[in-house]
Amino acid sequence: MTLSAPITQDVHTIPRKVPAGPVNLVGLTRDQMRDAFVTAGTPEKQARMRVNQVWQWIYHWGVRDFTLMTNLAKDYRALLAGAFAVDLPEIVSKQVSSDGTRKYLVRIQGGHEVETVYIPEEDRGTLCVSSQVGCTLTCSFCHTGTQRLVRNLTAGEIVGQVMLVRDDLGEWPVPGAPKDETRLLSNIVLMGMGEPLYNFDAVRDAMKIAMDAEGLQLSRRRITLSTSGVVPEIARTATEIGCQLAVSFHATTDEVRDVLVPINKKWNIATLLDALREYPNLSNSERITFEYVMLDGVNDSDEDARRLVKLIEGIPAKINLIPFNEWPGAPYKRSSNNRIRAFADIIYKAGYASPIRTPRGEDIMAACGQLKSATERARKSRAQVAAEAGIAPPT
Ligand code: SAH
Ligand code: SF4
């Protein structure tokens, strides 16, 4: 018997295995998950069924541990655990307002942070979700607009915000328990940081997952996407997502809108309105929400209200009046309550619903246009306090 010589191999000839790490399943479409399962060794014929099973565990039951997916064979669970992860972004901190609003600071890959806000109301609970870190647009009244775009969120990071908050609310269904009709988290608004239509594919995939009948099961009527007016993507929003649409209108002349919402220089009011007119038909939705931030002396005159009514004539609409949330250094002031009421009255008399948005979570600065920046300021001041006290700043 001869001992075989030790095998030596030139390291350069060994194909280098890139440490890929497990693929995160959260955020994959059904088709993407199917392909991933096949690549990992699932027989083609079984792949569709395995997707259905895993999908229900993750999105219906909120289960993220493969070993608990008991309708799968043990060795298949092991195969999945070796190749995949079910990862969500991480909650860094949570603040609860005296009115029940919860503001979460959420850390995504790369250490970036976004905010997600949960707003409980009598008949619903709305989650305000972010789609980008920062924003490329520079609306002059919005604090997010002063922050540069860091990156787009992935679909997993967008739907992950919904799943995190379901965790925090303890709202995943329990097998056998009676179905609770009123959900704590019943609605989603894409009104956090970022312009959702500049991150279209990820937003679409995330919302499709949120709407999937075998998972989170949020109806498309309970999802509202807010855009500053990215006209070329509006028709796609109708046909590919089919959710409700809100538009940050904010002005009744191009001159003023050019300043408040500078994307207006690219797609002006007339172009935007043409796209909006098509939306309800294309998406089979009832009406469009026009968001209108009330800025003292800038866009809040009776004449503005009358012009607004005229502009939107023929579009099924609701006008949501938002008292401006002031932030330090903001170049505008909030219109007085009387002015907002007078403005609302003109719109109401013209036959449109004109709710005035009640500011929520003000004590924790959870309002629009203040997300993240408030946390950054709070952190800075804690760091300053620590520095003054001569101790190491908090991490
Ligand atoms: N980028 C999208 C969605 C995020 S902003 C958009 O612009 O529509 C969500 C809403 O908050 C928009 O209507 C926006 O105009 C409004 N908003 C931003 N900053 C605000 C502020 N400081 N006060 C009141 N509303 C604000
Ligand atoms: Fe961006 Fe919307 Fe803020 Fe404009 S209002 S800067 S689009 S987040």
- The CA angle 101-209-288, to the nearest 5 degrees, is 65
Q: Given this model, what pLDDT does residue 363 score?
A: 73
Shortest CA distance to 240 belongs to which of 188, 271, 205, 275? 205
Determine whether the annotation assigns residue 194 to a binding site: yes
DSSP 84-129: EE----EEEEEEE-TTS-EEEEEE-GGG-EEEEEEEE-SS-EEEE-
Reported confidence tier of residue 10, pLDDT bands at 50, 70, 90: very low
| CATH number 3.30.9.10 is the correct assignment for the domain at 27-85 | no
Domain ranges of the chain: 27-85, 90-389
Q: Are 87 and 156 in contact (CB under 8 A)?
A: yes
Taking residues 373-377, what's their average pLDDT? Answer: 55
Taking 3-state DSSP, the helix, strand and coil percentages for the chain, each rounded to the nearest 5, stand at 40, 15, 45
Q: How many other CB atoms sit within 10 Å of the CB of residue 67? A: 12
Ligand nearest to the CA of 226: 1
Helix axes 44-55, 30-39, angle to 10 degrees: 130
Do the domains 90-389 and 27-85 match in fold? Answer: no
Q: Given this model, what pLDDT does residue 374 score?
A: 53
Shortest CA distance to 88 belongs to which of 36, 140, 151, 166? 166
125-128 vs 187-190, strand pairing mode? parallel
Shortest CA distance to 162 belongs to which of 52, 242, 88, 55? 88
Q: Given this model, what pLDDT does residue 286 score?
A: 80
Q: Are 250 and 299 in contact (CB under 8 A)?
A: yes
Q: Give yes or no for residue 4 having a pLDDT over 50.
A: no
For ligand 1, atom 12, the nearest C-alpha belongs to 248
- Answer yes or no: is the C-beta of 134 below 6 A from any ligand 2 atom: no
Q: Domain 90-389, what fold?
A: TIM Barrel (3.20.20)
Q: Give yes or no for residue 35 having a pLDDT over 90.
A: yes
Q: Given this model, what pLDDT does residue 358 score?
A: 82
Taking residues 352-360, what's their average pLDDT? Answer: 87
Burial 329-348 (b: 16+ CB within 10 A, else e): ebebebbeeebbeebbebbe
The residue from 115, 157, 233, 291 that is catalytic is 115
Reported confidence tier of residue 392, pLDDT bands at 50, 70, 90: very low
Determine whether the annotation assigns residue 335 to a binding site: no
* Global confidence as pTM: 0.89
Reported confidence tier of residue 382, pLDDT bands at 50, 70, 90: very low
**368 carries an active-site annotation:** yes
Number of H helices, E strands in the chain: 11, 13
